[in-house]
Amino acid sequence: MGTDLNAPLGQSRKERPARKYDLRRTIGYSSLCIFALAIIGVSGWSAFSPDGLTRAPGAPDGSETTIASSGQAAPLAEPGQPRGNGAASLRPNGAFSGVHVEEMLTNDGATVTKYTPRSRESDGPALISTGSARGQDPRMAALPNEHLLEDSPQGRLPIVGPDGSRPMDQYARPWSGARGVRIGLVVGGLGLSQTGTQRAINELPPEVTLAFAAAGNSLQRWMQEARRDGHEILLQIPMEPFDYPDNDPGPRALRVSLSATKNLAELHRSMGEITNYTGIMNYLGGRFLSEADALEPVMRDLGKRGLLFLDDGTSAQSLSGTLAGAFDVPHGYADLVVDGEISRGAILRKLDELERIARRNGGAIGVASAFDESVETIAKWMEEAGGRGIEFVGVSALVNDPQQR
């Protein structure tokens, strides 16, 4: 029968040869399984990795050196070291899954970030970012940032926001940031004449900064219209001149004889008339600006509120620059009053002089009033000067800002 039970007792049967253990075949099968598992692991990692990048072997946490999915190293510059003009580098970022991120340092020191899609069946768009924009979204320019306002008995007053944002930055007119000749033109006295205010807003280019008189009418409505048209705005505060009271700057004027408490109350009443302004500009005020004891509380208050101060440059004895520096107030001086003489020829000569100052110094500020002759002449001159390589900017781009030192 072929089994041990049927073999004759005591008789030997032919033994079957023992099967030999094949070590080489076992090793081969094991290697194949390990290789298959490795392929599955790598495929799974590639599928679920958020950015397809891994840190270079041995690179400590926080290192800027990365390896792209192709395996080629793309080292970035060490912190604080320039990457060089045109030197692009890849940076992994889990927030931008599916894209390559490149950063480039330009000649003017700006960092340009470029986002491009990874390989796909068809070419995708390239998105280029030059950093956060300065100022408000134009669609919201007529509305104030509620985080930059506080309620007071004198009205809603500008303040520095919880995150450190300043009204000066929030309401500033954006500009290119490029090196070159820059001119800031400020036209003041808006709000005093309805027709003059309307004409200035309608005819002046949006690059002109508009200064509203605190004693004007319908200021909130005019402010909103000016902001919707793209203008940066200032608030003109009346201050005591040397020949007061013969030359009266009007109601709510800041005066040397008043206490600091009274002057601040008058200042705040004027500041509460409108919102969305980057700072304060004096109206007259030769004597007030020359008295340190009277001016100091005002500058201290402006510094706390994140506002700039523009001195119209008409008083050689002004201490505004000295006190602004002491209290970290962004500050600027006007280089010229361009319409001291109200005639087209005289205004053009002053504007040409302003251009020469700007080419010599890199920038200049000119101030004017909203007279019909001034508005018409400035608008036409700006159109011509733009073709000579001049960039017109909001006045906030030309002040001395302690935070930008």
Strand 209-213 and strand 233-239: the pairing is: parallel
Are 254 and 285 a contacting pair, CB within 8 Å? yes
The whole-number mean pLDDT for each consecutive block of 10 residues of the chain, a chain of 405 residues, reads 44 48 56 63 52 41 38 40 40 45 60 58 46 64 94 96 96 93 98 97 98 96 97 98 96 97 98 97 98 98 98 97 96 98 97 98 98 98 95 98 86
Instruction: Give me the pLDDT at residue 26, please.
Output: 54
Of 108, 184, 177, nearest in space to 363 by CA: 184
* Spatial distance between the Cα atoms of 309 and 362, rounded to a whole number of angstroms: 20
Alpha-carbon distance 195 to 193, whole Å? 6
CB 216 within 8 A of CB 194: no
**Where do the domains of the chain lie?**
84-131, 138-404
Quick one: 138-404 is in which CATH superfamily?
Answer: Glycoside hydrolase/deacetylase (3.20.20.370)
For 26, the enclosing helix (H) or strand (E) is: helix 23-48
Looking at residue 86, what is its pLDDT?
40
- Residue identified by tokens 């290789």 is 35
Residue 330 and residue 22: Cα distance in Å, rounded? Answer: 86
